[in-house]
Structure formats: C-alpha cells, structure tokens
Amino acid sequence: MGLRVSPEALTGEWSLSFADIDFANAKPAGSRLGLAVQLKFFAAYGYFATAAAEAPDEAVSYLAEQLGVSKVDLCQYDFSGRSGRRHCAEILCHLGFRRMKRADRAALASWIATELCSGGASVAAMMKAVFLWCRDRRIFGPSRKEMERIVRSERQRFLESFLGGVADRLRSETVALMEASLVDPDSPTGFHTMKGDAGEQRWTTCLPCLIGLPSSRSWICRAIFYPLPARPGSIRSFGGSAPKKRRRCAATLRGGNWAFIPFS
C-alpha cells in the first residue's frame, strides 16, 4: 500500500475513540473498515483517500483489529462511489469541519505567500502543508485540483515579486548587457556559454557571461547581501531555460531572472 506510518503515529493518529467506534458500527458491517480508514486518513492528512492503496498497511491492520473485522473488507469498499462520498460528508460532520469560506481562502493564500513560497518547497510539499493548515482549523477546502491552482498561483505571484525586486537593484547598463546575452546567446558572453542543466550551474560556467558586465564584482556583492529566500524551487529551473523563453518574460522580470542564476 501507499504511505508508511511509525508505531508512535499509529497509536497516536489511528486509534479510534469510543465515539469513532460507535460512528463506524452504525454502518453495515462490510463498509465499517472503509469508513474508519477514511475517518482516520482525513484526520491525519487533511484530505480523503481515493483508493485503498493510499492507506498505510499498518494503519489498516490496526483499524481492522479495533473494529473486529477483516482487512479484506477494505477491498470491497467503494471510495469514489455514492456511499463513499456520503461517508465523507458524514465524517466532516462527525469531526466538526466546515466548508471553506472566502475569508478562509484569502487567509490561506496569504499564509502560502508568507510562510511557504520563500522556503523553496516543491508543489507537492506545499500541498501537504496546505491540507494540514486547513485540517488544523477544521476547514474542508476545495478539490485537490483547485488547491493546487491556489498554490501555483501564489508561487507565481511570489516569483514575480521577488524577481522584480532583484531587477530593480540592477544598474541600467548591467541590464542592457544581460539583455544582449539573450539576444545573441551564442556570442562569447552569451547565454549559451552556460550549461543547460540548472542543477549544474557553477561559477566556472557563469563567469564568461558575467565578465562582460560592468562592475560585475560590485553587483555580485550586492546580490549576495540582498535578502534572498532559501533557494526558491520555482527559480531553480531558470538556468535550463532557453534564451527565447527568457525574452518572453516581462521586461521588469528578465533582469532578476538572469541575475539570480549564479545563486541558484
């Protein structure tokens, strides 16, 4: 099965209360384990499982033992069927959750921007944190697809703000030479002199481009001491972008995009 769970988390997050057991036992015998799995899965991760394979095997065995049923019952549970969807709605009521409101959505977006985007986490990691944020506030958010759209939107907004700030600190002559490296990427100081893989960028591959910049040492020092976020994940791929893709960026962002490469 999917996720793994430690012995400590097993007893702490997957133990059924008396109320939980009564809640599950009120259902037909064949669906009790499936409902219990959804109940504790949601309580642990903040979202519902879509298939039996997502539930940790140890947790399924532990829940079956508490209910006095067989693990095999879970194979017959329809996670996406009508009864499964009805059980999810009943679980939300049982746990005291409410639907996300406009104010909640705004608060979530603000939290993503201030707490997650600057850390450089992947979209998947940010999604996990977002679901836990909602869980801790007893809020049931929109679909997973919509949650991902919110996360990606805030990442893009942060990226534009960050790169715009970097670009604003560059001198006009520096920006002009950076732009020239994109217009003629195959020149001795052009963009193509650097490696294409963003993960392999080193000073030895960046210096040929930097040599042609005025007072490169001074702007490098300014950039180093500029309060940068901890390697934003959304910026790591810039080094592998084609010059023509960079030229499509907004003019106010291209300078920050280019300037950040040596530090990513």
List pLDDT tens digits, range 14-71.
999 999 999 999 999 999 999 999 999 999 999 999 999 999 999 999 999 999 999 9
- Report pLDDT digits (tens) over 195-210: 444 444 454 555 555 5
pLDDT band at residue 77 using 50, 70 and 90 as cut-offs:
very high
Instruction: Tell me the mean pLDDT in the region 82-104.
Output: 96
Per-residue pLDDT at 255: 52
Q: Cβ distance 103 to 96 under 8 Å? A: no
pLDDT band at residue 2 using 50, 70 and 90 as cut-offs:
low
Q: Rg of the chain over CA atoms, in angstroms?
A: 25
Residue 259 has pLDDT above 70, yes or no: no
In single-letter form, the type of residue at position 49 comes to A
Using CA atoms, how far apart are residues 206 and 196, in angstroms rounded to an integer? 11
Using CA atoms, how far apart are residues 195 and 200, in angstroms rounded to an integer? 7
Per-residue pLDDT at 32: 96
Instruction: Tell me the mean pLDDT in the region 83-90.
Output: 95
Q: Cβ distance 163 to 253 under 8 Å? A: yes
Residues 6+ apart with CB under 8 A from 65: none
Per-residue pLDDT at 182: 67
Q: Domain segments of the chain: what residues? A: 7-96, 100-162, 167-263
Mean pLDDT for the chain? Answer: 78
Per-residue pLDDT at 53: 92
Using CA atoms, how far apart are residues 117 and 160, in angstroms rounded to an integer? 12
- Report pLDDT digits (tens) over 179-189: 776 676 677 66
